[in-house]
Structure 1
Amino acid sequence: MNEFYWQERWEKGLTGWDIGYPSPPITEYVDQLLDKFKTILIPGVGNGYEACYLKEAGFKNVHVIDIAREPLEHIKTRCPDFEDSHLIHGDFFKLEGYYDLILEQTFFCALDPKQRNDYRDKIYELLVPGGKLAGVWFTFPLTEKGPPFGGDPNEYINMFSDKFDIKVAEPCYNSIKPRLGNEFFMILQRPAH
């Protein structure tokens, strides 16, 4: 899937992943963060409800990336003070930089399952030592049809444990009703050395 594929989905309103507000598992997690100066990245940001939530909560260094331009324009409309240089239009796998925290919310499930190890490796590369990846992964069965693509929690744990310390890996108790029983929350930390 390329930029044209995702741009077309936005233009046609085929955004079934969009719940219209920040995801409760993400907001509950970020509400516990005390350091408002963390450098945070949200890949495949979509409409950016979580990004705007972070900005409104006083986080000073929120960055987003999406392969389609339209979602970035939506974020700028809703959050006019969002720094233009933090609204990155591009390919996540070509992104350069270093982040303290990367939030996962419906990006992983949009990727072809063949890209999952590439995703893990890119996240590792983008995180500072000691940095964290936190968010939600879908647990409905992985089928050929997607996106979204599901998966198995044990598969996720095995894949990420190659490079990350697994701090939390558990079913979401605070999913929205349509996703209840199909979301898995993880906090993964890049080792400090």
Structure 2
Amino acid sequence: MDLSGNAWDNRYLNNDIGWDLGEVSPPLKAYFDQLEDKEIKILIPGGGNSYEAVYLFKNGFKNVFVVDLSKTAIDNIKKRISNFPENQLIVGDFFDIDASFDLIIEQTFFCAIKPSLREDYVLKMNGLLKPNGKLVGLLFNVPLNNDKPPFGGNKEAYNLSFKPYFKIEKMDSCYNSYKNRQGRELFIKLLKK
């Protein structure tokens, strides 16, 4: 299983991106629409084509950062919104990011990394968030692949992983998932401890 930058880039080049909704995920859009402070610093790791980043930027959130291993995915964002600040579109590894954020958005990133990296993910997320920072987004609540992304999971396992480092404000079945994900997602809102 090759999860290198080149492998991800090839998937974007070949349009082998079944996880890509082609639009903002409805639960995330609903969450974004109730945010009032447009100055907050937001990270979208493994953001891919990141319709979420574009939506946020177009709605006045100017401190939005996207990191992805795929240069093609990052270039796709630049093509769609040419005035998105280049220094906020990062071709690189999430685990190499060295900054702090008020909000991190989880959208098909957790399921794309090797399950052996999930503990590292939780620690890194905690480390990247400012005091009172939040990790918000969606996690698959179904068993998926064992040998390649997307890797699934369940609420019990997620609770065990996140509870030591986050106050779980919400981890419930998502009521407004995209049509092909209905009944398969948890909406999470986790507050850094």
Is the TM value for this pair above 0.5? yes
For residue 168 of structure 1, give the secondary structure of its aligned residue in structure 2.
strand
Question: What's 2:104 paired with?
Answer: 102
Provide the TM-score with structure 1 as the length reference. Answer: 0.97
Question: What's 1:120 paired with?
Answer: 122
The count of aligned residue pairs is: 191
Preserved CA contact (<8 Å) 1:142 1:152: no
Preserved CA contact (<8 Å) 1:134 1:188: yes
Q: Which runs of 5+ in 1 are unaligned?
A: none
Q: Distance in 1 between matches of 2:111 and 2:145?
A: 11
Give the counterpart of 1:24 among 7, 26, 30: 26
Q: Distance in 2 between matches of 1:79 and 1:107?
A: 22
Q: Distance in 2 between matches of 1:120 and 1:133?
A: 10
Give the counterpart of 2:90 among 70, 85, 88: 88
Question: Where in structure 1 do 4 or more consecutive aligned residues deviate above 4 Å?
Answer: none
Q: CA deviation at 1:142?
A: 4.5
Preserved CA contact (<8 Å) 1:106 1:136: yes
For residue 21 of structure 1, give the secondary structure of its aligned residue in structure 2.
coil
Q: CA deviation at 1:104?
A: 0.3
Question: What's 2:143 paired with?
Answer: 141
- Most deviating of 94-103 and 8-17: 8-17
Q: Which runs of 5+ in 2 are unaligned?
A: none
* Residues 31-50 of structure 1 aligned to structure 2 (within 5 Å): 31-50=33-52
Cα deviation code 1:130-162 (max 9, x no counterpart): 100000000111441331111011111121001
Provide the TM-score with structure 2 as the length reference. Answer: 0.97
Structure 2 residue 152 is matched with structure 1 residue 150: yes
Question: What's 1:10 paired with?
Answer: 12
Q: How much identity, in percent, do the aligned residues show?
A: 46
For residue 111 of structure 2, give the secondary structure of its aligned residue in structure 1.
helix
Q: Distance in 2 between matches of 1:9 and 1:106?
A: 15
